[in-house]
Amino acid sequence: MADLTEMALVLTRGLVAFGCLAIASAAPVLADGPADNQAENVRPIPPAGIEVDAEAVDALQANAAMVRKRWQQLIDAAKTDKQGSTALARLIDLEPEVLVFPRAVEMTIEQSIFYSPKALTDADRLLEIANERIDRIAAGASWAEVVGLETSNEKQLIAGGYRSKIDDSFQPYGVVVPANVNALDALPIRMDVWLHGRGEKVSELAFLNKHSNRPDRYRTGNEPMPQSAIVAHPYGRYSNAFKFAGEVDVLELIDYLQRRAAIDDQRIAIRGFSMGGAGCWQFATHYADRFFAATPGAGFSETPLFLKVFQGEDAAGTAPSHQKTLWQLYDCPPWAANLRNLPTIAYSGEIDRQKQAADVMESELEKHGVDLVHLIGPQTAHKIHPDAKQEIARRLNLIEQQIQPGVPRHVHLTTMTLRYSKMHWIEVTGMQQHWSPATVDAAVIRHPADSSEQIEIECENVTRLRVNFDAGQWPGKPNGRVGVMINGNHVTNASNGPMVGSDRSFTAEFMHDGKWKIATEDSTSLRKRPGLQGPIDDAFMDRFVFVMPSGTTADLIVEKWIQEESKHAMDHWRLHFRGDIRVIQDTEVDAAMMADQNVILFGDATSNQVIAQLLPKLPLNWTKEQIRIGNNEADGAGHVPVMIYPNPESPNHYVVINSGFTFREYDYLNNARQTPKLPDWAILNVSEGSTFRDPGKVVAAGFFDEAWQPK
C-alpha cells in the first residue's frame, strides 16, 4: 500500500469525471440510475414499512400518549407553581428533550415505516427514555443531567431534540463525547459537526435509537471519532442533502448546543461523507467564516454533470432556464473562491465514482489559485480508508493549533444571492443583479508612513455593502476615524470617515448611487436584501404558517387544484422535511400574526380574504378573465399564479401565493435533483392537474428585479 501521507499531496488531475451518488456506504443502492428517471412511476420515499402486529402498535400509541400526558401534568403544575413563569420557562426549554421521543414513535406509526420487528422494541425503549427524563426534570435536573451528560472517562452518547424555529417541530440530534473529553468543563471545547449519508430508512426512530444506544455498540463506520472534540450529529430533516430546512437544522443545532455546553465558537469543523459530503461542500462554500476547517468526503458538488453521468438524465439540455439559474443556489463551483477563507481537506476513495465531486471542485479551485488537498484512499470504493481517517484527524489537529483569535484582515466573498451575503466583517446588502457573481475583496491596510489604517475594497455586481467589526474585533488603532476606499475611489478618509467605537467596534454601510458613498437609511424602500430575496423556497427556511381559504373559487378546475395542491404541500412538508404543520384559516389572520412569520396563502381573491387584502399591493393583476405579471399574461380560467413577495403588511417577511416548497416526489429519488424548481413567480396552467414532477404546466416564470418588480 502506498503511503497515504505522501499520497495526500498528490492531486488527481485530468481524470474522467464519473457520477456520484449520495448514499451512505451502509445503505444498499436501491433503484438509482436510469430506473429513477421515470417521472410517471416514482417509488415512494420513505419506503413503505413491514406489516407489524396491530396490538403492539396500539400499545405503543397508548404509551406515547401517556408520555405526553405526564409531561402536560408537569406543565399544568408549573402554571400554578409559586415560582410562576420561571418554572414554566424551564419546562418549555427542556420540553424538546422529552417530546422528541414520542413524536418519533408517533410519526413512525402514522407513516407505517417500521422496517423490522426490532423497531417496535426500539420504539418502546425511546419511550422509556422519555419517561426517565420526565422523572429527572420533575426532580429539578439541569439540561446536562436530563440528557445524561456526565464527567466520565467513558465514551458517551447523547440523543435529544430541539424546537425548530421554522415550524415548532421537535427535531432530533445526536452527540458523541469521547472518553477523554469533559463536555461539562468550563473551558471551551472543539466541536465537529458530522453530516450523515443518505439513508432512505433513517427515520427519527432509527436516528434516535442509534444515538441513544450503548456506547460499546455504537458503530462509527465513516464517522470521525476525534480524541479531543465532541461530535454533533444533526438529523438534517431526513434525506435532503442538508438543503433548505435541512440546512437550517444544522445551524439551529449548532446554536442550540453552544447555548448549553462550553463550545469554542472558533473551533467548529464541518464534516461529512456521501450525502453528508455534499452537504459539507455546501456549508463550506456558503458559510466559510463559521468553521475552522471542512472535510468533505465523496458526495456531489454540482447538479448537471452528476445527473448526466450517473442518472443518464440530460438535465442541462431539458431543464428550463430558470431552473438552471437556480442550480447556483446549491451548486458549489460558483462559490468555490470562498474556500480561500477556510482550510479544506477533501477525501475520495480511489475507485469511488463519487470522487467526481472533489475532482470538480479541484478544477474550479485551481482557477482561483487554490490547490485543493485531496486525500485518496488507495483501491477504496465508497468508504473512508482507515489510514485516511487518521491522516484527516492529524491535519485537523494541526489546523486547530494554528487558530488565531480575532478576525482576518483580508477577506474574500463570492455570492450569487443575498441568502448567503456575509463573510467575516463584510456583508453584501444589495446586488446589481441576482444570480450573477457578486465578489468582494476587502482588507484592512496599515500605511507605514503614518501607521493609519484604511479599509480597501474591490467589488463587482454590488450596490450596497456593510462593514461590521463587532466589539473588540477592530484590528487597527483603538480610536479615530477610518478611511475607506472602494474600487480605487476614496469614499471616506481620516478626517471625515466613521469612527472606531470605544469598545473597538467599527460599523459602516456604503451604497453605490452613481458613485460610492455612505449609505442613507432606506428602511422603507422595497428592494431585495439579505433574508428577503427569494426564490419561493426561501420562505420555507424561516418561520411560516399555511393560511387556508374560508371560501371557494368560482372556477371549479382552479378550486380542485387549490384543494389538492395545498394538501400536497402540507402532507409533503411532513413527509419529506419531517415537520409539523401550522395551518390557520384566512379569517384568523391579524397584523400581529403576519408580523411574526411568512404567510403561505392558498386560494384567490374570492376564496381567501388575505389574498383579497394584499392583491392591490402586489405586482399581480388577477381577475376572473386574466392573470398578468409584468408583460406575461394568461387566461384567468384554469390558471393560477404562484409567487413570493415581501408582505406589504409586514415587509420583513414574505407572502407566498399557492405554493409549498417547489421540488416534488421525482426529485426525492436523488439528492442532486433537490433544487428550486420555480423562481420568484410563475403562472401555471392547472387544467390537467399536477404530477410527481410539476404542480402544473408552467406558462411563464421569472425573477423579480432588485426592486421586486417584474423584469
CATH number of the domain to which 276 belongs: 3.40.50.1820
What is the rounded distance in angstroms from the CA atom of residue 10 to the CA atom of residue 7? 5
- Name which of 671, 669, 672, 692 is nearest 35 in CA terms: 669
Q: What is the pLDDT of residues 518-557, one digit of tens each?
A: 998 776 689 999 999 999 999 999 999 999 999 999 999 9
What is the rounded distance in angstroms from the CA atom of residue 522 to the CA atom of residue 507? 17
User: Based on the structure, what is the number of domains in the chain?
Assistant: 3
Residue that is written with C-alpha cell 381567501 in the block: 608
Q: Is the pLDDT of residue 506 over 80?
A: yes
Q: What is the pLDDT of residues 238-263, one digit of tens each?
A: 999 999 999 999 999 999 999 999 99
Residue range of the domain that includes 686: 536-702
* Sequence letter at residue 139: A
Cβ-Cβ contacts under 8 Å for 37 (sequence gap 6 or more): 311, 312, 313
Looking at the domain assignment, is residue 319 inside a domain? yes
Q: Is omega for the bond preceding 46 within 30 degrees of 0, making it cis?
A: yes
Last residue of a domain, one of 402, 423, 451: 402
What's the pLDDT score for residue 15? 29
What's the pLDDT score for residue 142? 96
710 neighbors 681 (Cβ within 8 angstroms): yes
Q: What is the pLDDT of residues 196-211, one digit of tens each?
A: 999 999 999 999 999 9
One domain, residues 292 and 343 = yes
Burial of 515 by CB count in 10 Å (0-12 exposed, 13-18 middle, 19+ buried)?
Answer: exposed
Q: Is omega for the bond preceding 34 within 30 degrees of 0, making it cis?
A: no
DSSP designation for 344: B
Band of pLDDT at residue 450, cut at 50, 70 and 90: low
Band of pLDDT at residue 709, cut at 50, 70 and 90: very high
Q: What is the pLDDT of residues 48-91, one digit of tens each?
A: 999 999 999 999 999 999 999 999 999 999 988 776 788 999 99
What φ, ψ does residue 333 adopt, rounded to 5°? -50, -40
What's the pLDDT score for residue 186? 83
What is the rounded distance in angstroms from the CA atom of residue 361 to the CA atom of residue 278? 11
What is the rounded distance in angstroms from the CA atom of residue 153 to the CA atom of residue 215? 12
Looking at the domain assignment, is residue 425 inside a domain? yes
One domain, residues 249 and 155 = yes
User: Strand 626-629 relative to strand 373-377: parallel, antiparallel, unpaired?
Assistant: unpaired
Band of pLDDT at residue 182, cut at 50, 70 and 90: confident
Give the mean model confidence (pLDDT) for residues 583-612.
97
One domain, residues 306 and 380 = yes
One domain, residues 510 and 546 = no
Looking at the domain assignment, is residue 710 inside a domain? no
H-type alpha helices, 478-522: none
Give the mean model confidence (pLDDT) for residues 409-435.
98
What is the rounded distance in angstroms from the CA atom of residue 42 to the CA atom of residue 572? 15
One domain, residues 371 and 470 = no
What is the rounded distance in angstroms from the CA atom of residue 60 to the CA atom of residue 324? 46
One domain, residues 427 and 394 = no
What's the pLDDT score for residue 258? 97
Task: Specify which residues 411 forms β-bridges with.
Answer: 442
Looking at the domain assignment, is residue 562 inside a domain? yes
Looking at the domain assignment, is residue 531 inside a domain? no
What's the pLDDT score for residue 448? 73
Looking at the domain assignment, is residue 82 inside a domain? no
What is the rounded distance in angstroms from the CA atom of residue 673 to the CA atom of residue 367? 26
What φ, ψ does residue 673 adopt, rounded to 5°? -80, -15
CA within 13 Å, CB half, 565? 32
Looking at the domain assignment, is residue 390 inside a domain? yes
Model pTM?
A: 0.94
One domain, residues 164 and 245 = yes
- Radius of gyration for the alpha carbons in the chain, expressed in angstroms and rounded: 26
Instruction: State the cell numbers at 593.
Output: 400574526
Q: What is the pLDDT of residues 624-668, one digit of tens each?
A: 999 999 999 999 999 999 999 999 999 999 999 999 999 999 999
What's the pLDDT score for residue 523? 65
DSSP assignments along 522-550, one per residue: -TTS---BTTB---GGGGGGS-EEEEE-S
Looking at the domain assignment, is residue 479 inside a domain? yes
Residue that is written with C-alpha cell 458526495 in the block: 299
Q: What is the pLDDT of residues 316-357, one digit of tens each?
A: 999 999 999 999 999 999 999 999 999 999 999 999 999 999
How far from the centroid of its chain's Cα atoms is residue 579's Cα?
14
The strand order across the sheet containing 681-685 reads 583-585, 544-548, 598-601, 650-657, 639-647, 681-685, 697-702
Instruction: State the cell numbers at 19.
Output: 457520477
What's the pLDDT score for residue 306? 86
What is the rounded distance in angstroms from the CA atom of residue 532 to the CA atom of residue 653? 7
What's the pLDDT score for residue 522? 74
Name which residue leads in pLDDT, 152 or 300. 300
CA distances from 305 to 18, 236, 253, 316, 666 (A): 9, 25, 32, 8, 18
How far from the centroid of its chain's Cα atoms is residue 405's Cα?
27
Last residue of a domain, one of 352, 386, 402: 402
One domain, residues 359 and 439 = no
One domain, residues 298 and 350 = yes
Q: What is the pLDDT of residues 375-403, one digit of tens each?
A: 999 999 999 999 999 999 999 999 999 99
How far from the centroid of its chain's Cα atoms is residue 15's Cα?
32
Give the mean model confidence (pLDDT) for residues 215-228.
88
Name which residue leads in pLDDT, 41 or 438. 438
Give the mean model confidence (pLDDT) for residues 32-44.
83
- Name which of 527, 465, 519, 520 is nearest 651 in CA terms: 527
What's the pLDDT score for residue 602? 98
Instruction: State the cell numbers at 447.
Output: 500605511
Last residue of a domain, one of 489, 518, 547: 518
The strand order across the sheet containing 189-195 reads 156-163, 170-177, 229-234, 189-195, 263-273, 293-297, 345-349, 373-377
Give the mean model confidence (pLDDT) for residues 580-593.
96
- Name which of 30, 387, 384, 391 is nearest 220 in CA terms: 384
Q: Is the pLDDT of residue 1 over 50?
A: no
What is the rounded distance in angstroms from the CA atom of residue 171 to the CA atom of residue 254? 13
One domain, residues 324 and 251 = yes
DSSP assignments along 277-288, one per residue: HHHHHHHHHH-G
One domain, residues 358 and 496 = no
The strand order across the sheet containing 426-431 reads 422-423, 426-431, 462-469, 506-512, 516-518
What's the pLDDT score for residue 153? 83
Q: Is the pLDDT of residue 14 over 50?
A: no
What average pLDDT is seen over the chain? Answer: 93
Task: Specify which residues 407 forms β-bridges with.
Answer: none
H-type alpha helices, 171-236: 204-211
One domain, residues 697 and 593 = yes
Q: Is the pLDDT of residue 463 over 60?
A: yes
